[in-house]
Amino acid sequence: MAFLRLPLILRLRQTLSPLNRHSIGSVSCFSSGSGSVEINISDEESRRRLHNRLLYRSRQRGFLELDLILGKWVEENILSLDEEKIRSLVDVLDLENPDLWKWLSGQEPPPDAINSNTVFSSIHAKVLENLNNYAAPATRAEPGQPWVRGWDDKRGLVGGPKHGNQ
């Protein structure tokens, strides 16, 4: 029954002004560009709610690699972030998954606006450190090139893939 009301909710969200769009019932919208994330760290309860909300957003992106990377980084650093860095974190969480993954993994250089974000820079440094510590250089693409090798256990065998994860 609830799914029948979804088009109505979506139409309502389109007609509301940006100041009132941040929540409709249990549907929430997180976008720091429109100011819909209310960053209130004035008391313990508000800070706890904000931290939980950001931790959830970092772990539930729907892109496993980013769920693991962002979730771990936010879990380790959320308590030490001030209001400015929380805004930077929200800006990172607002990025699209494919673009964010390419920028964090070094497949593409990030735009200057993203590269100057202190939270992005910290997460990017952590990802590069992990790549350098745990991934053999032969298994990685050159910087700026897409990753084409996957789990290709049968590569080189008769009938196996010639390249990539086929």
pLDDT of the residue at 34: 40
- Count Cα neighbours of 142 within 13 Å in the Cβ-side half-sphere: 1
Instruction: Report helix angle 83-93 to 118-134, nearest 10.
Output: 60
pLDDT in tens, 126-152: 998 988 888 777 777 676 666 655 555
Judge whether residue 166 has pLDDT over 50: no
Residue reference for tokens 């308590």: 79
Please check whether residue 55 is in contact with residue 71, taking contact to mean a CB–CB distance below 8 angstroms.
yes
Residue 6 has pLDDT above 90, yes or no: no
Domains of the chain from N-terminus onward = 21-138 (1.10.150.250)
- Looking at the predicted structure, is the pLDDT value of residue 15 above 70? no
Q: Is 94 left (phi over 0), alpha (psi -120 to 50) or beta?
A: alpha
Task: Give first-to-last CA distance, the chain, whole Å.
Answer: 41
